[in-house]
Amino acid sequence: MQFMNEVNGVLNKEAWKQVNKNLIAKMLAEYMYEDMIKPQITKENGLLTCRLSVSEKKAYLYQAKERYFDSYTVLEDSIRIEESRQTKEAESAVELLTDIQSVIGMTAETTGHLIKEINNTLLADAHLLHKENQTSDELVQMDYAELEGYMTGHPWITYNKGRIGFGYDDYLTYAPESHQEVKLSWIAVHCDRSTFHSIDNENYRKLLEHELESADKSRFDEKLLACHVDPDDYYYMPVHPWQWKNVLVQQFAEDLAMGQIIPLGDGEDVYLPQQSIRTFVNRTNKRKHHVKLPMSILNTLVYRGLPAERTVIAPKITSFIKDIYENDPFLKEECQVILPGEIASINVDHPHYPNVENVPYQYLEMLGAIWRESIYSYLDEDEQAVTLAALLHRDKDGKAFIQSLIEQSDLTSEEWMEKFFHVIMRPLLHYIYRYGVVFSPHGQNVILVLKDKKPHRLAVKDFVDDVNISDQPFEELSGLSDDLKKVLRSEPPEGLTQFIFTGLFICHLRYLAGMMEDDGLLTEHVFWEQLAESIHNYQERFPELKERYKLFDFFKPSFTKLCLNRNRMVNEGYQDGDDRPHASEYGRVKNALAKFDITLKK
């Protein structure tokens, strides 16, 4: 029987109970934040005692800590189910999901698909629990690419490892937590069926020389010559092995039959998948580019393809972002921000799907490749890179990754976080205030570069999906080309501010603040006060941008609440639309930074 040893080694009663309890606590906390569930609440000794009735005879009882930004941390050991005057432990995340179906108004279709995603997530969590043999003290020494395999996924989305489309064999082979090195498959695509794009100082032949070993190139050329075609008439590009066997052979069969696409075999380099699953770090030569490839699996709201229009424009977006950097001494010399660019791309449209009006977006994202500069190519010998997501990690004994960093830095928690906010906030604020440009600085896109375990400088990646611009008539945006204007999302002031407010503060920092307070490292009050101070320090440095500080106001009393779980569970469901779903808007969230606003006093 296939996978019997893997299943028996990972799945047992205690492990299953533990991952379910962890997820139940997360579900209750996040669904409260998104106002999908509204338990009866009483306060006792600084804790909230909550009662969530799901039927006339059944209720969930639990305690929670109230956090800033209208958030909560649910104490997992406190969760009980009361049913017919009997109480028991809550041990099934799927049971909770089905219990709240009618409470929050989920359709049967959504509930059924979501059970699948929850079960996939729990199985992945069980695998992570099984492999937890590295302490936080050890993990802070680990290489950037290797560390990614220990992360537990999106901190906010409760079905964060749903990966619909993966079989268990695919999970064991391609999931980042499996830590399996893979070889990428390569195909040749006729130039009439594909387009190559790059930044100005890059070209196709130069890219191949950098990315493809000469032996591979010769082997691929020989394959094409054996097919009686000219290699110069084709572009060579990598494809994900999963995408090849599950999507490309079937959906591009016509191109394969007509010789427009020719399979070449595997390259010799080995790669390690990162948390996004579709992005790979080259392990044979870490200075080679990172490769981003489409995978038609559904994970955390969207299919993980490569949108054609963004794949085509990716190098131009990189040039736009880097031109700002090159001409701004503050970013380049003082912040020394790192911007690993998407320097080349190949896009291949399907011969028929683009001709179908309002076709589901997944069919427009099936075949392409993006090459992003390696983070390693920017690091000095004494520098170490970690994603912000790593800061939220706890080891099997409960010790936080960030605590190990602070201990090994010889700084106090306050000193470490002061450096952290100084490093993280200045470049992000400068881009939005000075240029009306914003990244989506969530835990995977933002990389903290350490020196002696201290925050040293910032790296930001993934421009093609997550760069957005202001809709205001800024002089700095006046020279933007029409093709960039067409692809980059243009947002009103609050919408642009939301990418930092929700993308960084809500999606990442609220969890870090709660963790640090729970571990006695720093109170939430001091945490957010330090963040506010970093914003004020920037604003004092550039008083000439005063009007833009009012425009992009991080200190106003409240913001529109953006919701991620609600999007799938209530609003969008699993409909196959012609556009990628975006976060749902529901109500307002109280802004904890408002209490630290000193601008009105000046």
Tens-place pLDDT, residues 352-410? 999 999 999 999 999 999 999 999 999 999 999 999 999 999 998 999 999 999 999 99
- The whole-angstrom distance between residue 43's C-alpha and the CA centroid of its chain comes to 35
Tens-place pLDDT, residues 240-281? 999 999 999 999 999 999 999 999 999 999 999 999 899 999
In whole angstroms, give the CA distance from residue 544 to residue 564. Answer: 36
601 pLDDT exceeds 50? Answer: no
Provide the angle, in degrees to the nearest 10, between the axes of the packed helices 13-33 and 108-130: 130
Domains of the chain: 4-113 (3.30.310.280), 181-372 (no CATH), 380-554 (1.10.510.40)
The predicted structure's pLDDT at residue 599? 56
Residues pairing with 48 in the sheet: 43, 64
Tens-place pLDDT, residues 425-465? 999 999 999 999 999 888 888 999 999 999 999 999 998 87
In whole angstroms, give the CA distance from residue 181 to residue 178. Answer: 9
Residue written as token pair 């969890």: 511
pTM score, whole prediction: 0.95
Residues pairing with 262 in the sheet: 188
In whole angstroms, give the CA distance from residue 366 to residue 74. Answer: 40
In whole angstroms, give the CA distance from residue 557 to residue 212. Answer: 53
Tens-place pLDDT, residues 176-233? 999 999 999 999 999 999 999 999 999 999 999 999 999 999 999 999 999 999 999 9
476 pLDDT exceeds 70? Answer: yes
471 pLDDT exceeds 80? Answer: yes
What letter does residue 245 receive in the DSSP assignment?
A: I
- The sign of the CA dihedral 202, 207, 210, 211 is positive
Residue 426 tokens read as 């200045």
**What mean pLDDT do residues 31-53 have?**
96
Exposure of 473 by Cβ count < 10 A (0-12 exposed, 13-18 middle, 19+ buried)?
exposed
CB 272 within 8 A of CB 263: no
The dihedral region occupied by 186, where left means phi > 0, alpha psi between -120 and 50, and beta the remainder, is beta
Is 291 strand, coil or helix? Answer: strand
In whole angstroms, give the CA distance from residue 311 to residue 314. Answer: 5
Poorest-pLDDT segment among 125-139, 180-194, 537-551: 125-139
In whole angstroms, give the CA distance from residue 63 to residue 45. Answer: 11
**What mean pLDDT do residues 573-591 have?**
92
Residues pairing with 263 in the sheet: 187
Indicate the pLDDT class of residue 600, thresholds 50, 70 and 90.
Answer: very low
CB 237 within 8 A of CB 189: yes
The predicted structure's pLDDT at residue 602? 43
Which has the closest alpha carbon to 175: 125, 107, 219, 250?
125
Beta strands 342-347 and 195-198 are: antiparallel
DSSP 508-535: IIHHHHHHHHHTTS--HHHHHHHHHHHH
Tens-place pLDDT, residues 324-354? 999 999 999 999 999 999 999 999 999 999 9
In whole angstroms, give the CA distance from residue 592 to residue 525. Answer: 9
Residue 423 tokens read as 């490093």
Residue 471 tokens read as 């809709």
**What mean pLDDT do residues 110-119 have?**
97
CB 287 within 8 A of CB 374: yes
In whole angstroms, give the CA distance from residue 534 to residue 379. Answer: 25
Beta strands 234-239 and 182-190 are: antiparallel
The predicted structure's pLDDT at residue 466? 81
In whole angstroms, give the CA distance from residue 160 to residue 299. Answer: 7
Residue 201 tokens read as 């100082």
CB 190 within 8 A of CB 261: yes
Share of the chain above pLDDT 90, in %: 92
